[in-house]
Chains A and B, each alone.
Chain A
Amino acid sequence: MASPLPITDSPLVCWSCHERTIGTHFCSSCGKMLQVPEKSDYFAMFEIPRKLWIEMSALEKKFLQLSWKLHPDNYVNASAEEREISLKRSSELNDAYRTLREPVARVEYLLAIEGARVEGKNKQQAPPELLEEVFELNESLDELREAKASGGDLGSLKRRLTAAEKNFQEKLAKVDGELQGAAKEWDAAVEASANETARKSVMAKLNELLNRRSYIRNLVVNVQKELL
């Protein structure tokens, strides 16, 4: 695998003019919007390599350019077929932009199309190094719920939980940092045309970080809900 630029296979023949075409979004022969190809992906849609660092202003510019051309507002008076293609194409463009814009969603998506996304077997299962703290946190949460129900003193419990929330927020920030590091490793592997084994190992790392991140995030959200 030498080329990191994954321009997806275009349909060979345009649905409208029946000519052979090499366009990504529009027919190179007649200029009509092309059907969404079966094997398209979000990176290909924006004509960028499958790397995790994306220049945001360039992404936005491309998004707006494509929106001009693909949006259903352009096709109100067009044939039913073209209206349908525009609806599909513009929705996928919006889905793609929504996903690629968010760093975490971007990693998840990359792993999914690379066939490397494996969600934790049990989402409720704490990563081993967090077990002790999670256990304590859950105890405090239970106590707070009980105290709420029985009208007991909430002040000290809330203080304890607020401290715990801060602690887990810090862990979340740390995971995000590690995720950024791993993303750089991925980009480096792509640029160096690294072999399959090297790539797989980076992907496994990214996958593990995503699972840890989602676990910690859930914890933080749960604590915040109880503290409200």
Chain B
Amino acid sequence: MGRTVGIDLGTTNSLVAYLDATTGEPKCILGPSGSTLCPSVVSLDADGSIIVGEPARRRLLTQPERTIYSVKRLMGRGPADVQAELKLFPFRIDPASKSVIRVQLGDKIFTPPEISSFILRELKNWAEAYFGETVDRAVITVPAYFNDAQRQATKDAGKIAGLDVLRLVNEPTAAALAYGLHEKQRGTVAVYDLGGGTFDISVLKLISTSEGDIFQVLSTNGDTHLGGDDIDHLLQAFVHEEILQHDQIDFSPHGELAQELRKELIAVKHRLSETDKVTLRFALPNGKVFEHEFTRGVFETLIRPVVDRTMGPVRQALADAQLSPKQIEEVVLVGGTTRTPLIRRTVQEFFDRKPHTELNPDEVVALGAAVQANILDRGVQNMLLLDVTPLSLGIETYGGAVAKIIPRNSTIPASAQEMYTTGVDNQTGIDIHVLQGERELAKDCRSLARFNLRIPPAPAGLPRVEVKFLIDANGILQVAAKDLRNGEEHLIEVQPSYGLNDADIERMLEESIEYAEQDFAERQLIEARTEAESILTATAKALSNPKAAGLSEPERVKVEQTVAALRESVKGTDYKLIRKKIDELNHATEHLAEILMNSAVQAALEGKKLAEV
């Protein structure tokens, strides 16, 4: 079993962190470019290989049609859901997309979980290079307000990347964990998390008990399509309009010029958090230079609608927790977008309290994920997280209405049972439609799954089937049915309305391994080290066998010297050297293996290496 890490799979940037065993503090791992941030950008190279992170981000300008950013916005969504988004993002959606969106990069088609899996695999590689060990288990964070399909898509991405996803943790909750460890806070805490593409607000209660600290989420709310991207779009729309007016140049969101302008505007946005005035100068194709001075005042007027949109969910979360702003004892700001002074001011005024910003808002979620990863890896010791489901779970009833069976903000895992029977004789099935959301009509809620409950033929009203709906600790739905007449219980395979099936995931996992060619050297190193470990163990075991006395003294010395040389080579990073030393040890132990084999089932094992005995 390899290492466990915490991953923040963000809209704009992704990070990987671990818990440092010596300091007990979580730490983010640096990537090859020297930053902890891996831009969530994926590009398909002309030779068919996948490029992720900073190099991919540079290709947004040079090869926009082969490169994709903000793919998190597409996770767990159907083509009809993203029409508005398509006006703003240069996503190239395959027109043949059915329930799952497919995106075109160059001449290839990918699903959003596949693209996310490339980012996860990149972070896995960073961590493996850092530890020199396999990393195969992870805690991945998701926006608290993600629905079932979006969570399932994230979990699928993990699987495709070859990771065992131990838990999906809500981003604001992860941030609270990191702060809890850092500040040793107690009482009620509000976490305001505005990232690149998603907004969450969570209200938590931090409780000290004799066993340890409990982080109990009381309520959560948010908007999975609200973030820094929206501020960029407002700026883009403003400048596009200006340029159209003055220079009659029309920008389509596709193409290199728009990407270049977007990049400049993001820089303007960042600088306006530090200074009061920034001048944009942008070279136009007609040879002129577009020049515009942004003041912070104008900028704030422009982005006010985005900030205002966050306050509705904030009020709702407080109402659901039955707390007033005054009753919140600590406020934490998370997500890069909360660097904007207007947001800091607005939050501070609302809660009448200075928010915490001590931890790097880009890193804090990954740090919290690492804390949770450590808890899961080693078992709950002194910290426990009790999270909630952000949306009510319901089933469609007569007339298209929705009956809520698990209310929003229920602590998870949570479950509900419903009893079903038949209305006519020999009816063999009942259609069940599961939904998520707060609205009263099925058509206004998110469809999670439809399935047909199969029933053995019987007179009407006689069958009694209990269906159990369970939301697990990841916020993902499971359904099981039990026939109460014979006590037979079976899990229902729920085909999600907007998800991949197991066969899809399996195929994508295989394909993704092909794309992973660029990590060849790292992978070789890990494999060589693993193999060295096993042969070293086998050799030590063989040498301690009484029958090993049959080995001559020079032979024994030779084996011991070769063992030492292999040990030394494992400390380095040269996998070819390790392989060479493995071969030498295999050679040096041939006689030893032979002696041991002779005493066992000689004929069958002849010619085998020591490690194989």
Contacts and interface: CB of A to CB of B under 8 A. Distances in A.
B214 A94 contact: no
A63 B380 CA distance: 16
Contacts of B411: 94, 97-98
A155 to B, nearest CB: 27
Interface string A76-104: 11000000000110111011011000000
Given A64-B207, A67-B386, A76-B166, A95 B380 contact: no
B179 to A, nearest CB: 19
A73 interface: yes
Nearest to B1: A77
Contact of A68 (B375, B384, B412): B384
A72 B473 contact: yes
B470 A64 contact: no
A71 B384 contact: yes
Contacts of A91: 412-415, 470-471
B410 A94 contact: yes
B475 to A, nearest CB: 12
A74 B380 contact: yes
Contacts of B379: 73-74, 76-77
Contacts of B359: none
Contacts of B471: 91
A178 to B, nearest CB: 24
Contacts of B386: 67, 71
Interface residues on A, range: 10 to 19
B385 A68 contact: no
Interface in B366-411: 375-377, 379-380, 384-386, 407, 410-411
| A contacts with B: majority SS | helix
A97 B413 CA distance: 12
Contacts of B472: 72, 87
Contacts of A73: 167, 375-376, 379-380, 384-385, 473
A76 B56 CA distance: 35
Interface string A53-68: 0000000000011011
Interface in B195-227: 207, 209, 211-212, 214, 216
B380 A94 contact: no
Contact of B414 (A67, A74, A94): A94
A76 B410 contact: no
User: Which residue of A64, A76, A88 has the most chain B CB atoms within 10 A of its CB atom?
Assistant: A76
B416 interface: yes
Contacts of B167: 73, 76
A74 B167 CA distance: 12
B444 to A, nearest CB: 14
Nearest to B409: A98
A95 B166 contact: no
A76 B376 contact: yes
Nearest to B378: A77
Contacts of B207: 64
A94 B409 CA distance: 11
Contact of A95 (B214, B216, B385, B416): B416
Nearest to B415: A91
Contacts of A64: 207, 209, 214, 216
Nearest to A89: B413
A209 B250 CA distance: 67
B411 to A, nearest CB: 4
Contacts of A72: 413, 472-473
Nearest to B412: A94
A77 B473 CA distance: 15
A113 B255 CA distance: 64
B380 A71 contact: yes
B515 to A, nearest CB: 29
A132 B262 CA distance: 64
Nearest to B383: A73
Interface in B202-259: 207, 209, 211-212, 214, 216
Interface string B406-433: 0100111111100000000000000000
A118 B470 CA distance: 26
User: Which residue of B375, B377, B416, B473 has the most chain A CB atoms within 10 A of its CB atom?
Assistant: B473
A142 B216 CA distance: 45
A133 to B, nearest CB: 25
A97 to B, nearest CB: 7
B1 to A, nearest CB: 9
B414 A95 contact: yes
Contacts of A87: 413, 470, 472-473
Contacts of B376: 73, 76
A95 B415 contact: yes
B523 to A, nearest CB: 26
B213 to A, nearest CB: 11
A92 B385 CA distance: 17
A97 B218 CA distance: 13
B384 A76 contact: no
Contacts of B377: 76-77
A218 B165 CA distance: 43
Contacts of A74: 379-380
Given A76-B377, A87-B470, A67 B413 contact: no
Nearest to B164: A76
Interface in B438-497: 470-473
Contact of B413 (A76, A77, A90): A90
User: Which residue of A73, A77, A97 has the most chain B CB atoms within 10 A of its CB atom?
Assistant: A73
A123 B9 CA distance: 47
A87 B415 CA distance: 10
A91 B480 CA distance: 14
A84 B412 CA distance: 14
Given A68-B212, A87-B473, A97-B411, 15 more contacts: A65-B209, A68-B211, A68-B384, A71-B473, A72-B413, A73-B473, A76-B379, A77-B377, A87-B470, A92-B415, A94-B412, A94-B414, A95-B414, A98-B410, A98-B411
Smallest CB-CB A-B distances: 10 pairs = A91-B413, A91-B415, A94-B411, A76-B376, A72-B473, A74-B380, A68-B211, A73-B380, A94-B414, A90-B413
13 contacts: A64-B214, A64-B216, A65-B211, A67-B384, A68-B209, A71-B386, A73-B376, A73-B379, A88-B470, A91-B413, A92-B415, A94-B412, A98-B407
